[in-house]
Amino acid sequence: MAYFTQQLINGVVLGSIFGLIAIGYTMVYGIIGMVNFAHGDVFMIGGFVTIITFLILGAVGITWIPLALLLMLVVAMAFTALHGWAVERVAYRPLRTSNRLAPLISAIGMSIFLQNYVQLLQGARNKALGKPLIPGAIQLMEQDGFTVQITYMQIVIVVLTVVLMAGFTYLITGTALGRNQRACEQDMRMARLLGVDVDKTISLTFIMGAALAAVAGMVWLLYYGIIDFYVGFLAGIKAFSAAVLGGIGSLPGAMLGGLLIGLIEVFWSAYFSVEYKDVAAFAILVLALVFRPTGLLGKPEIEKV
């Protein structure tokens, strides 16, 4: 029971990170019906900007951890928001009225460009953070010599995820920007006729999704202590799978899908062969979509004629 409880905690934490990335996918798809395959690489850039900011802060003598974490988060969000805006302007806006295949290829090309751009600037080696910035843990129980604990970093990740999820839900349902986003989702042409600045709304959506990816990138770095230029590809694919599993276009669905993918991966690694954890996650995704094509919380599209 103790071992199961520990793996449950680990799975929820990993799923929370996947959920944070998946929200960016589902926000973009919900408005313009396109998948931003460069989103995972924006997440990776957020991790790199975080570690670079950490090194600069250490060099200038800012060592108080709360202030350093805040500055790292602000700088990472600013840089990734700029990248999100650039991705929308370069890879999506010129192709918005074209067929679905063109922006898909453009997004994949942008993903490859961002990977190589970071590799050229930072090198192909892994970048390690060093010592944990949020050390310590709370011991929950001990059974047969196995100790169940939850680290302070894990608590921060879960609390941050819940707060951001609540904040984005309020933004979508209770603000003018959220109403504009929902209007663009329902009928972009009619929203434009009613005075909604569609281009601005879509750009802000990309910027918000990219800023959220920066939070996930920073959390990933603080949790695992290491980042590389290729991590965005696999994490992005898993987060996209989480968005599809939960019902792409649904914020609660993205978070639910992220939690499920994280739990599947952790429990499979704990009780079966760790080499096949990715196979297990994608296999369950396929099975779920066979019986629920729209995802767990997704709704089928109804085309009005």
DSSP code for 171:
H
Confidence (pLDDT) at 300: 65
Chain mean position to CA 295: 18
- What is the identity of the amino acid at 118? V
Confidence (pLDDT) at 302: 59
Distance from C-alpha of 180 to C-alpha of 101, rounded to nearest angstrom? 26
Tens digit of each residue's pLDDT (9 = 90 or more) over 144-202: 778 889 999 999 999 998 898 888 888 888 889 888 988 888 888 888 888 889 889 99
Record the pTM: 0.90
Residues of the chain falling short of pLDDT 50: none
Confidence (pLDDT) at 301: 61
What distances in angstroms separate CA 300 from CA 55, 136, 247, 250, 282, one per listed residue? Answer: 48, 46, 10, 12, 22
281 CB neighbour count, 10 Å cutoff: 22
Distance from C-alpha of 180 to C-alpha of 195, rounded to nearest angstrom? 10
Distance from C-alpha of 97 to C-alpha of 108, rounded to nearest angstrom? 18
Confidence (pLDDT) at 14: 92
Confidence (pLDDT) at 303: 55
Say which residue the tokens 């609660």 belong to.
252
Give the closest residue to 73 by CA, choosing from 226, 65, 60. 65
Beta strands in the chain (DSSP E): 127-128, 137-143, 146-151, 226-227
Confidence (pLDDT) at 28: 83
Distance from C-alpha of 168 to C-alpha of 248, rounded to nearest angstrom? 16
Q: Is the distance from CB of 219 to CB of 13 less than 8 angstroms?
A: no
Confidence (pLDDT) at 293: 83
Q: Give the angle subtended at the CA of 174 by the CAs of 172 and 176, to the nearest 5°.
A: 80
Confidence (pLDDT) at 101: 81
Q: Give the residue extent of every domain in the chain.
A: 2-151+197-291
Give the closest residue to 218 by CA, choosing from 19, 16, 50. 50
What 3-state class would DSSP assign to 300? coil
Give the closest residue to 51 by CA, choosing from 93, 79, 22. 79
Confidence (pLDDT) at 36: 85
Q: Are strands 146-151 and 127-128 parallel, antiparallel or unpaired?
A: unpaired
Confidence (pLDDT) at 167: 87
